[in-house]
Amino acid sequence: MKRKRKSEDVHEVKRLKDANGESVKSKGEEEDEGPPPESDFKKYRISKVSRKTLKSRGITHLFPIQYKTFDPIYDNKDVIGQARTGTGKTLSFVLPLIERLLKTGSVDVSARGRSPCVLVMAPTRELANQVNAEFESLSQSLSVFCIYGGVPYWPQG
């Protein structure tokens, strides 16, 4: 028998029945009550434009990694976050950075020769492209440029 990796383990929840045969929630089982209140966009410094953009992408609330890191990142603190694949880690740092840039007015793309406002370094070309796409999809007013190794610079722009 092949053993599943931890990330693939499936936890089954058995339904218990009370004396009348009614289904009862077992210990540790949670009902799906929707997103927690702390995930509401309105609790964070997210502009109306960004909220609209997120909703158009089907994102109606922040995921746990996002609401736990939004304020520290926005307030320019160093953050280390760990979460599973597909939980929104990229958006967890892109969104507060974009909101901070928009608020401080650091998006003047007409200023030639100015240094970058944000530099994101990623360990792989795929992740660099994912981060680039996330920045581009959330703010059309930012000038975003992605450079990675292994190929000449000129076709990347």
What ranges do the domains of the chain cover? 34-105+119-156
Question: Is 0.85 surpassed by the pTM of this model?
Answer: no
The arithmetic mean of pLDDT across residues 133-143, rounded, is: 88
In terms of residues, how long is the chain? 157
pLDDT band at 99 (very low <50, low <70, confident <90, very high): very high
- Distance of alpha carbon 5 from alpha carbon 92, whole angstroms: 26
Give the right CATH number for 34-105+119-156 from 3.40.50.300, 1.20.140.10, 3.40.50.720, 3.30.2130.30.
Answer: 3.40.50.300
- In the numeric block, the tokens 């004396």 are attached to 19
Are 102 and 139 contacting, i.e. CB atoms less than 8 angstroms apart?
Answer: yes
pLDDT at 27: 43
Q: What percentage of the chain has pLDDT greater than the value 70?
A: 73
